[in-house]
Chain A
Amino acid sequence: MGSESTLPGVRRIAGIVLAVLLIGGVVAAVVAGREGKDTGTATKTVRGVIGSEKADFFADPAVVKALAAKGYTVKTETSGSWAMEDLKLDGYDFAFPSSQAPADALADKYHARQPLPRPFYSPLVVVAHRSSAQVLAANGLATLDHDRGTLHMAAYLDAARHDRTWQQLKGARSHAELTGTLYIATTDPETSNSGALYLAAASYVAGGGRVAAGKVDVDRTAPLMHKLISVQGAQQPSSDAAFRDFVSGVGNPLVLVYESQVAALLHDGRGVDDLTVLYPDTTANSDHTVVPLTQAGRDLGELLSTDPALRKLAVRHGFRPQGDSAEFTAATAPFASYINQKLTGIRQVPVPTSAVLHEMARRARN
């Protein structure tokens, strides 16, 4: 890894370059650019590595301001929640993965004291366009209610088990983009939280309503889990990328994302063309959990959980703050037709231990 030691070898690489183009080149401009940004009374810089779905939250000028008011400048970079384990976190104050399992694993590794601050959570949802949602409903795979619906996981897994294609479903013919194997596109379960939670929920259903507890359970559902993942081919590394694909009209008809991503979009007053939000009837919650690596990191985690202004901003970004559903319900009222505010009819299932989940993801991918 030592960059010093490889530098001489690497400098030669410049020679292979067919064109080294310098675009612009005013170094001094950096200083000007930076000065423009760091205004306010920030006193303490706190560094963290976060799940990509929280990048917009931390980049929001209102959040930057609210944090500065409390004396913090927060610098973040994104990573898959499970990939954080492989990062060198020296010099970081906190990690902020998207659920409890990777957080606990990190807390173990860095000896972070429990309990860990869990400022907010967000359920996983499947975003779809109206046409594909209606085809699912017509074939008993989903039930629709206005702009949202419920995805029937058992029926979906059954379709997956039988390699069902869109062409075999009633009503798909009139939509050109609905061809190929029916599947939900997810992130890579080995590196990213949402992909891993998808396996957690699917294996729970496939295992007859039981949380996988060890090798025998993993073995039993492995062929189906492998199918769910392998049909997808290369997967997006992060839920941010997966959601942007969908929003831009690129990619698969069914994409697993966080409810927060959808709610944030709707908060901005932007719909996606005939968006339909499907809540899987069996799902695992994503508890965004702060793993403090320093005292400053812990303080920040507490602040995110307790500061009214920051909680409000978290809601604005589509998250559900812990311990109070009223804030979220009130804020999402204008677009309640898309959001299952009280998560009615949705079963939350526990997530397997991190070791079991890792093994499940590994088997599914390979």
Chain B
Amino acid sequence: MRRRLALIAGLALLLTACTTQHQQSEEDGSQPRPGTLRVLASSELSDMAPVLDQVRKSTGITVRPTYIGTLDAVDLLAKGKADGAYDALWLSSNDYLRLRPDAAKKVVSETPVMFSPVAIGVRAQTVRSLNWKPDQVTWSQIEKAVQDGRLTYGMTDPARSNSGFSTLISVASGLSGAQSALTDADVEKATPKLKEFFKGQKLTSGSSGWLASAYAHRGNVDALLNYESVLRGMPGLTVIRPRDGVVTADYPLSSLASSDPDTRDEVRRLAEALRTPAVQRLITERTHRRPVVASVAPGPGLDTSRRRELPFPGTRSVADRLLDSYENKLRRPSRTVYVLDTSGSMEGKRLERLKTALLDLTGDFRDREEVTLMPFGSEVKSVRTHIVEPTDPQRGLDAIRADTRALEAGGNTAIYTSLEKAYEHLGDDRDTFTSIVLMTDGENTSGAKAGEFDGFHRGLSGHQRDIPVFPILFGDSDKTELEHIAELTGGRLFDAQKGSLDGAFEEIRGYQ
């Protein structure tokens, strides 16, 4: 469970790092206020804004969501850090929460608000070429298509995203042939199959939102695995609920034991309002989720034929081990180049912050992961590559740490020349998740110009052109310049000017 621990440690650091920078938003975000419920929520719930607006008009209750992944939310609750800071919990499912008694006892009432099953959204053209009848497709058929090289897909990172976690459970249950709740033995038995299956995963993401835009940008991935509601919101996908079973999210709005009775009563009022027929209709029409009240029919296009519900694991060890095995064994490993600005302007505090952030990040690297540090000034200063070998992960991690400590500031800022170097280094690799992280504290001052880099990028082979750059806004770096790089390469910009550098590095992990 090295990963999970690292994740928690990362979170703790993040908390510290943010204290000063976010004074303002903290004041806004965490103070209790009458009529406003501070809700710890799954990020997919951002599509509920129009519904919550309606509910606010009818009840006077304002929902102030704080978005978080399931695992982080459960940790927060278990440690008592949600006590007094939040008034309610609203995750896509409380199944994982219930496996942690220390977190589960923080919850009082749970009211399911809507449903959405895990599904696979497939390009219409691919459905045709595979000769699939959408209502007949099974998990084994999907696996076979992947194995035959006829289906590639994207999904979110199970360690960071609710949808990814539910997808992983669905896939593991579906492919293991388990007749009841997954056990360690089932996962063990299914491992070779799962490994094959995850070879087809060409896209990973820390959030459903970026997954959708990366899918559109790439244009060469055949399918996405996510909640039906997310897939329904995307044009051109045939949404398939595998015939042999799915895991369904039921979005329970949960009140917390740490709140006072009046607050819990507000949560109850909110839950009641969300279950009125009018609001249920709005939910299913706007968000493509399924209603929980019998009087409201599912929105247009939501097929009502029945599916078996795949049982969610009943013990924490099974769930955690599955997650661990996904990260360290099943998924394709990642190869990442960290293009790090160590120009003269980084001298002093900035370089120290970079080193601290990178050192912290090493606790988070997965087995089999390849990490390249590419510090640059007027040109690339060195290219150091390390692999976290499953047999001796410590060795690789120690080497990364040693190289990080040795970083020195000096020279100008050759952003584009260094990026070109990173692309060359990664080459035309099809068996890993490749990506580039660009951290710079200033504008491009030497080497290739922006226009030249655009030309360079156009000249890349198809596979290389799919490698995203994740730039981090830091120090005095130029937002427009970095945004352009993210857009050109299909990456995403992360902001360490408003947030912290540790936070940005940590968040990017979900995309690697």
Contacts and interface: CB of A to CB of B under 8 A. Distances in A.
Contacts of A268: 294-295
A21 B314 contact: no
A25 interface: yes
Interface in A23-73: 23-34, 47, 52, 55, 59
Given A6-B83, A234-B311, A33 B110 contact: no
Contacts of A13: 15, 30, 66, 76, 81, 85
B433 interface: no
A59 B261 CA distance: 17
Interface stretch (B20-28, B355-363, B477-485): B20-28
B290 A248 contact: yes
B6 to A, nearest CB: 15
Contacts of B81: 6, 9-10, 13
B248 interface: yes
Nearest to B249: A250
Interface SS majority for chain B: mixed
A126 to B, nearest CB: 16
B19 A21 contact: no
A145 interface: no
B15 A15 contact: yes
B156 interface: no
A165 interface: yes
Nearest to B306: A177
Contacts of B290: 248-250
A312 B372 CA distance: 73
Contact of A15 (B18, B105, B115, B265): B18
B129 interface: no
B25 A24 contact: no
Q: Of residues A14, A75, A252, which shows the largest number of chain B Cβ atoms within 10 Å of its Cβ?
A: A14
B180 interface: yes
Of the listed residues A21, A29, A240, the one surrounded by the most CB atoms of chain B closer than 10 A to its CB is: A21
B252 A10 contact: no
B61 to A, nearest CB: 7
Given A265-B294, A272-B294, A129 B306 contact: yes
Nearest to A190: B101
A172 to B, nearest CB: 11
A123 to B, nearest CB: 21
Nearest to A131: B306
Contacts of B105: 86
B53 interface: yes
B411 interface: no
A16 interface: yes
Nearest to A90: B261
Interface string A230-251: 1111110110110011011111
Among A4, A33, A188, A253: residue with most chain B CB under 10 A: A33
Contact of B252 (A12, A27, A165, A241): A241
Contacts of A3: 83-84, 258
A10 to B, nearest CB: 3
A296 to B, nearest CB: 15
Contacts of B292: 244, 247-248
Contacts of A55: 111
Interface stretch (A113-121, A178-186, A210-218, A331-339): A178-186
A342 interface: no
Nearest to A4: B84
B245 interface: yes
A24 B180 CA distance: 44
Contacts of A76: 268
A250 B268 contact: no
Interface of B: 11, 14-19, 21-22, 25-26, 28-30, 33-36, 43, 46, 49, 52-53, 56-68, 72, 76, 80-85, 94-95, 98-99, 105, 108-112, 115, 117, 179-182, 243-245, 248, 250, 252, 255, 257-258, 261, 264-265, 268, 272, 290-295, 304-309, 311-314, 499-500, 503, 507
16 contacts: A10-B83, A14-B30, A15-B500, A16-B18, A20-B29, A23-B62, A24-B56, A25-B36, A27-B35, A33-B59, A77-B268, A232-B181, A245-B112, A245-B115, A249-B306, A250-B115
Given A88-B257, A244-B293, A245-B115, 13 more contacts: A14-B26, A14-B28, A15-B14, A15-B18, A21-B49, A29-B35, A55-B111, A78-B268, A176-B305, A179-B179, A233-B313, A234-B99, A245-B250
Top 10 A-B residue pairs of the complex, sorted by shortest distance between their CB atoms: A15-B18, A233-B181, A33-B60, A3-B84, A233-B311, A30-B35, A10-B85, A231-B180, A14-B29, A29-B60
